[in-house]
Amino acid sequence: MDLDTMLESLHTQGWCVWDDFLSANEISALLQCLPSEWSQAGIGRQDAHTHVASIRSDKIHWLKEEMGQPVHHYLDKMEVIRQAANRYLYLGLFEYEAHFAKYEQGDFYKKHRDSFRGKANRILTTVLYLNDQDWQETDGGELVIYNDDDSFLTKLVPKGGRLVMFLSEDFPHEVLPAHRPRFSIAGWFRLNGVSAGSLDIAV
């Protein structure tokens, strides 16, 4: 996979898988940047963090440039993707927000969409896996992606260096319970969220 193939896949099918997007060395450098403190993940931006536990049990920590050179390097690569997606797919992506996610044994994220039609804000979802290369199906934690009509599309093991991207509105997806600790960076390219006259920009 390269940038052109990625753009072509996003254009024709709305999703793509880029294996070895980062090398094993780049992944271990990112793992050195993992935070020591994690927050229980929420659902939705305005959500009061209620009823969350039945839907997702992962823990997250938002990425910041200051977290170190490997994070900086990752965000630089995402910036290249943002500009390419805007230039060739006219997606109008304005910014990128991303968090580390930690799924401990048994953790899951039930089927959901990352964005809802009409509230277009998150446009393009990215998930980069920070696990070993040899993650097996028996280790659980697969990402299952569905079509817009909820029919099964594909099931992907979260092996290290793999980058998955899909249009946030169009693909319901879920994370099956992990049988061993599972680390990732989940991110979203967003529009400049001017809604109801108020600016909604990730900080």
Ligand X SMILES: O=C(O)CCC(=O)C(=O)O
Backbone angles phi, psi at 77, to 5 degrees: -65, -35
Q: Which does 78 bind (CB under 5 to 8 A by kind): Fe ion, ligand X, none?
A: none
Q: Which does 175 bind (CB under 5 to 8 A by kind): Fe ion, ligand X, none?
A: ligand X
First to last CA, the chain: 31
Q: Which residues pair with 67 in a beta bridge?
A: none
Q: Which does 127 bind (CB under 5 to 8 A by kind): Fe ion, ligand X, none?
A: ligand X
Binding residues for ligand X, rule CB under 6 A, total 10
Regarding 100 and contact with ligand X (CB under 6 A), the answer is no
Regarding 107 and contact with Fe ion (CB under 5 A), the answer is no
Task: Considering the complex, state which of residue 42 and residue 88 has its C-beta at the smaller distance from ligand X.
Answer: 42
Q: Can you tell me whether residue 198 is helix, strand or coil?
A: strand
Cβ-based neighbour number of residue 174 at 10 Å: 17
Q: Can you tell me whether residue 164 is helix, strand or coil?
A: strand
Q: Can you tell me whether residue 108 is helix, strand or coil?
A: coil
Q: Which does 184 bind (CB under 5 to 8 A by kind): ligand X, Fe ion, none?
A: ligand X
Regarding 57 and contact with ligand X (CB under 6 A), the answer is no
Helix (H) or strand (E) holding 135: none
Residues lying near ligand X in the complex (CB under 6 A) are found at 101, 109, 114, 127, 143, 158, 173, 175, 184, 186
